[in-house]
Amino acid sequence: MGEEFKSGFVSMMGRTNVGKSSIMNRLVKEKVAAIANKPQTTRNAIRAIVNRDNLQIIFIDTPGIHKPKTKLGDIMVETAFGVVPDVDVVLFVIDATSKEIGKGDRIILDKIKESKKKTILIINKIDLVNREDVARLIDLYKDEYNFEAVIPVSVEKNINLDAIIDEIAKHLKVGPAY
């Protein structure tokens, strides 16, 4: 028996500027045209699809999160970022140059904790820091949540991006190609 086809839904979360769009553009080979047999709401939220031999990953849009500059900004973040979408896996993208878990990252982390979703932590822009910086960030985050994996990457230097797909694949279920 050959390997079964797997598919599933994924959502990428992260502050503005951590590199979500850059990562997505690298992962996606093919933009979505139309998807049948899915509720309208899900279809509208589809951002991109990654197709590989035996798998299909459908990326679902997540409301963006912005660094609050004002009190009003705080409120807007809360409103915009109400829920973690109902997906199989969440990709939580952070910036390797962060020295601590900042306010925006903390808000997202809390939502993920609440949702209890399978989450892969992606540390992007490792080209800008050294190994010790990455290790320190991993230390900070690993006590916060039981991440399925922590993957340091660089879109700029094309480091480790395939590992994201490999890790997502582990958590997809046997299912149809949409």
Residue 128 β-bridge partners: none
The answer to whether the Cα torsion of 23, 26, 29, 31 is positive or negative is positive
Residue 50 β-bridge partners: 57
Residues that bind ligand GDP (CB under 6 A): 14, 16-22, 124-125, 127-128, 154-156
Whichever of 18 and 55 has its CB closer to ligand GDP, that residue is 18
CB of 85 to ligand GDP, least distance (A): 17
Whichever of 3 and 132 has its CB closer to ligand GDP, that residue is 132
Whichever of 100 and 127 has its CB closer to ligand GDP, that residue is 127
CB of 11 to ligand GDP, least distance (A): 13
Whichever of 23 and 89 has its CB closer to ligand GDP, that residue is 23
CB 153, CB 123: distance < 8 Å: yes
CB of 166 to ligand GDP, least distance (A): 18
Whichever of 38 and 101 has its CB closer to ligand GDP, that residue is 101
Please enumerate in sequence order all residues whose Cβ is within 8 A of that of 4, keeping only pairs 6 or more positions apart, or say none. Answer: 54, 174
CB of 93 to ligand GDP, least distance (A): 7
CB of 74 to ligand GDP, least distance (A): 19
Please enumerate in sequence order all residues whose Cβ is within 8 A of that of 153, keeping only pairs 6 or more positions apart, or say none. Answer: 23, 122, 123, 124, 126, 159, 160, 161, 163, 164
